[in-house]
Structure 1
Amino acid sequence: MIREIDDALQRAADGGRITPEEALLLYTDAPLHPLGEAADAVRRRRYPDGIVTYLIDRNINYTNVCVTACKFCAFYRAPKHAEGWSHDTEEILRRCGEAVELGATQVMLQGGHHPDYGVEYYEQLFGAVKSAYPQLAIHSIGPSEILHMAKVSSVSIEEAITRIQAAGLDSIAGAGAEMLPDRPRQAIAPLKESGQRWLEVMEVAHRFGVDSTATMMMGTGETNAERIEHMRMIRDVQDKAVEAGYADNRVAERGGAGGFRAFIPWTYQPENNHLKGRTQATTLEYLRLVAVARLFFDNVAHLQSSWLTTGKDAGQLSLHMGVDDLGSIMLEENVISSAGARHRSNLLELISMIRSADRTPAQRDTLYQHLAVHRRPEDDPTDERVVSHFSSIALPHDGAADRSLPLIEAR
C-alpha cells in the first residue's frame, strides 16, 4: 500500500492522471504532509507566479420561497409560508448598486424554486441588472434553477439556457450540486433532480458557451467513496468538454479554461435545518479532500477554498494543500449563514491571510483574470470597510430583510 500511495502521489505531482480508486486511497491513507506537498507541487507547476486570487462580489437572493425542501437548507420557506418573501427588481437593483459602490465585480443572483418563476422571470431579472450595471458579471443560479424554470415555462433546457444567456447571464454557479451520487443525494434532497441530470444541464450550458463552476457539500453522511465519486462525475463531464473543444485543458493563462473553470468544496452547516448536524466533516477531512481534489482534477484549472464554512485558519491552511483561490469578500450571504456559518473577514484580513502564507494576493474577476496584483504590502488596498459578509436576514438584528449595506468608497 505504501508503494501504491507513493506512486500515485508522484504521478499526480508530475501532472499525470490518477484513478478514482487511487484518489480514494490517497484520501483515506496517504500521510498528510506528503499529500499536501504533492498537491502544492501541482499548484506551483500550474501557477508558478505564486499568486492566490480573491474576488469581491455579493450574493443577492431574490426569493426564499422554494418547493424543493432540501433537508440541509435553513433558508427556504414553502409556498404560502408566513415567512416567505420575494424582492422586486427595484430592490435587487438597489443591492447591485451598493455592491458596485463597494467595488464588487460580480453578483450571484440566487433563490428558491418559486412555483411561479419561469424563464420569463429570469429574462427580466438578468436583463434589468445587465442594463443598469453592465460592469457586473452575472454568475448566478445553477442547474436546479434552470430545470425548474424550464418546467414552469414548458420549454426545453436548451431554450431556457439560450434565453437567459441572451438576457445577460454570464456564468452558471455550481449551486445545487451538494452530493451528486444517488444515495446521499436522495437522503438529503429527495425532491431535487438527480446528480446525473444536474451534470447534463451543465453539459448543455458548456456546449452553448456558458461556463460554470462545480461545488461539493461534504458532511451530510456521505461516505469517503461517495465523495470521490462526486469528483469523478465532475471530471468525466469536464473531459467531454475538453474533447469537444468547449474547454481548454491548458492552463498557461490564468483565465478560465472553459467548462468547469473551478472546483469549490465546502462543508455542511448544521443549524436550523432538518439534518440538525447529525453528521459533519472535520477540518482534517476537508483539508485532505482539498488536496486530493487538486491531484485528481487535472482538467479543472482552479481550486477554491471555502473559508466561509471552514473558518479562516482552515482557509489559510488550504493554501498549502493546492488551493490557488481563497474565494470572495462576499458582501452579502444569507443561505449558508442561515444554517450557522458565522465566519467573517474584511479585505485587508483576507489579503493578509494570503500574504502570510507566502503567496502573492491578487483581486480577480469572474474568469480569473487579474484586476490588481498586490506584489508588495504597499500595493495593498487601504480601505478597511470592505467587509464580508453582511447577512441581511440571518444574523441577529431587527429582522428587516431589506437592511442596507453601509456604503463606502472603494479604491
Structure 2
Amino acid sequence: MRELEEKVYAGERLDRSDGEALYATDDLAWLGRLAHHVRTEKNGDRVMFNVNRHLNLTNVCSASCAYCSFQRKPGEKDAYTMRVEEAVRKAKEMEDEQLTELHIVNGLHPTLPWKYYPRVLRELKAALPNVSLKCFTATEVQWFEKISGLSADEILDELIDAGLDSLTGGGAEIFDWEVRQHIVDHACHWEDWSRIHRLAHQKGLKTPSTMLYGHIEEPRHRVDHVLRLRELQDETGGFAVFIPLRYQHDFVDSADGKIRNRIQAQTTMASPAESLKTFAVSRLMLDNFDHVKCFWVMHGLSLAQLSLNFGADDLDGSVVEYKITHDADSYGTPHTMHRDDLLNLIWDAGFTPVERNTRYQVVREYDAPTSMAERRREPQQVWA
C-alpha cells in the first residue's frame, strides 16, 4: 500500500499488478483518498453534468445477450420501433429545458433499413439544430456495416454528415474473451469496438468509453479492460470520459413478466462498496482520461454522490427516460432529474456544479446559492 501510494502521489503510471493490488485492498477509505487526490488534481471540486435526453428508437434486437433485459424479438408483446416523427416529437418535449444533448442507442433491428438511421439524425438536427447528437454504439455501427454493405468509414461519414456529434460508449461490456463469450451475443468484440472508436477519433469525434461491471467478471478482467482503453487513449486521445456501468438484475417488471437475464441466478450485482472501489481504481489507472462519470441511473443517487469522493467528476444529466436500465431495475432511481435536481445533488455533496456540452466544454459554472449555508444547518434528505 505504501508503494502504491508513493506512485500515485508521484504521478507515476500504474501497471497491471498495481491495478489488481488496488482491487485486493479492503481499505476503502484509503483507496478513496488516493482516487480523490487524482480527481482533484485533474478537476478540482467541479462536478460536470448536462441537460440531455435518452432515446431508444427500438428495443427489437437480433442479439440475445445474456445480461440484457431490454431486448425484444419481433412480434413480442412490448416490442416497439419509433417512427422518425415520434422520435422528433419526444426529443422536442425537452426543448424548454435548454436541452443540449440527445443520447440514442438501440437494439440491432433485423429488418430496419440502414437509411432509417441517418434519416432520423437529419430530422432531429433540423428540429433541434443546437442539440448535440450522441448516437449509436460501436456494436450498432458494426451492425450497420452488415446490413448496408458499407464500411464503418463510409457509415461514420454519412452519419456525421447527417448530424452525428459523438458515438456512445456502449457495447464494451468486458473486453476479455474469457468473460465476453459468456455474456455477449453479437459479433462486435474488442477488435471491432476499438477499430470503430479509432475511426471516430480520426474523424474528430470525441467519444465516451464504458465498462459493464459486477456480473461474472473478476477484478483482473476490469483491470485488463481499462488498460486496453488507456492504450487506445495513448494512441488517439479521443476518449472524453470513462463510465463504469453497474450490471443490473432483471426484476420482472416488463409487460410480459419474463426474466430475460440468463446470468441472474449466478450473479449478485456489485455492492455499494464494490462500486466505489471500481470508480476509484478506474480513476487511478486511467491517468490519460480527463473525466470519470457516475451514471446515476445505474447506481442510485446516494452512491452517485459518494462516488464524487472516489474519483468520479461527472454525473451524466437529466436523462428523462432510460429504458435499458428501467426495464431491469426495481430499486427506485427516478426517470428524470431536472437541472435544479442535479444542482442540489452536487451542492449537497459539497462540490461545484458545472454544466457542460457533449465535448466537455463548459456551458455554465454555478456558484452555491446564498441559502446553502442556512440549508446545511438542518439535516437534508438522503437520496434513495
One-letter code aligned to 2:241: A
Q: Which residue of 2 aligns with 1:343?
A: 333
CA–CA separation in structure 2 for the residues paired with 1:379 and 1:76: 46
CA–CA separation in structure 2 for the residues paired with 1:277 and 1:313: 27
- Secondary structure of the residue aligned to 2:310 is coil
Question: 1:70 aligned to 2:58?
Answer: no
Q: Which residue of 2 aligns with 1:181?
A: 176
Residue of structure 1 aligned with 2:271, choices 267, 282, 303: 282
Q: CA deviation at 1:275?
A: 2.3
Cα deviation per residue 1:26-78 (whole Å; 9 max; x = unaligned)? 11126222211111111111123x21111111111111110011111111111
Question: 1:305 aligned to 2:294?
Answer: yes
Structure 1 contact 270–277 (Cα < 8 Å) conserved:
no
Question: 1:149 aligned to 2:144?
Answer: yes
Structure 2 contact 243–293 (Cα < 8 Å) conserved:
yes
Question: 1:269 aligned to 2:248?
Answer: yes
Question: 1:59 aligned to 2:54?
Answer: yes
Q: CA deviation at 1:190?
A: 3.1
Among all aligned residue pairs of Structure 1 and Structure 2, give the percentage whose two residues are the same amino acid.
30
Q: Which residue of 2 aligns with 1:207?
A: 202
Question: 1:19 aligned to 2:3?
Answer: no
Cα deviation per residue 1:281-325 (whole Å; 9 max; x = unaligned)? 111111011011111111111011122112111111111112111
Structure 1 segments unaligned to the other structure (5+ residues)? 242-246, 248-258, 381-411
One-letter code aligned to 1:328: G
Q: Which residue of 1 aligns with 2:381?
A: none
One-letter code aligned to 2:324: V
Question: 1:39 aligned to 2:35?
Answer: yes
Structure 2 contact 206–359 (Cα < 8 Å) conserved:
no
CA–CA separation in structure 2 for the residues paired with 1:192 and 1:146: 11
**Compared CA separation, residues 283 and 112, structure 1 to 2 (3 A):** same
CA–CA separation in structure 2 for the residues paired with 1:47 and 1:264: 16
CA–CA separation in structure 1 for the residues paired with 2:223 and 2:157: 32
- Secondary structure of the residue aligned to 1:54 is strand
Structure 1 contact 61–110 (Cα < 8 Å) conserved:
yes
Q: Which residue of 1 aligns with 2:96?
A: 101
Q: Which residue of 1 aligns with 2:353?
A: 361
How many residues align? The count is 359
Residue of structure 2 aligned with 1:294, choices 283, 286, 289: 283
- Secondary structure of the residue aligned to 2:130 is coil
Q: CA deviation at 1:379?
A: 9.8
Q: CA deviation at 1:150?
A: 1.2
Structure 1 contact 118–148 (Cα < 8 Å) conserved:
no
Cα deviation per residue 1:152-197 (whole Å; 9 max; x = unaligned)? 0011111111111111110011011111111211111133422232
Q: Which residue of 2 aligns with 1:238?
A: 233
Structure 2 contact 28–273 (Cα < 8 Å) conserved:
no
Q: CA deviation at 1:370?
A: 2.0
One-letter code aligned to 2:68: C
Give the stretch that moved more between structures: 73-82 or 319-328: 73-82
**Compared CA separation, residues 186 and 291, structure 1 to 2 (3 A):** same
One-letter code aligned to 1:237: L
CA–CA separation in structure 2 for the residues paired with 1:314 and 1:290: 11
TM-score, normalising length: structure 2:
0.89
TM-score, normalising length: structure 1:
0.83
One-letter code aligned to 2:299: T
Question: 1:326 aligned to 2:315?
Answer: yes
Structure 2 segments unaligned to the other structure (5+ residues)? 251-258, 373-384
CA–CA separation in structure 2 for the residues paired with 1:294 and 1:201: 24
One-letter code aligned to 1:124: R
Give the stretch that moved more between structures: 32-41 or 8-17: 8-17
One-letter code aligned to 2:43: Y
CA–CA separation in structure 2 for the residues paired with 1:137 and 1:194: 27
Q: Which residue of 1 aligns with 2:377?
A: none
Question: 1:162 aligned to 2:151?
Answer: no
CA–CA separation in structure 2 for the residues paired with 1:346 and 1:60: 16
CA–CA separation in structure 2 for the residues paired with 1:153 and 1:6: 55
Cα deviation per residue 1:193-239 (whole Å; 9 max; x = unaligned)? 22232112111111121221001111221011111111111111111
Question: 1:86 aligned to 2:75?
Answer: no
**Compared CA separation, residues 115 and 202, structure 1 to 2 (3 A):** same
CA–CA separation in structure 2 for the residues paired with 1:153 and 1:175: 21
Structure 2 contact 213–247 (Cα < 8 Å) conserved:
yes
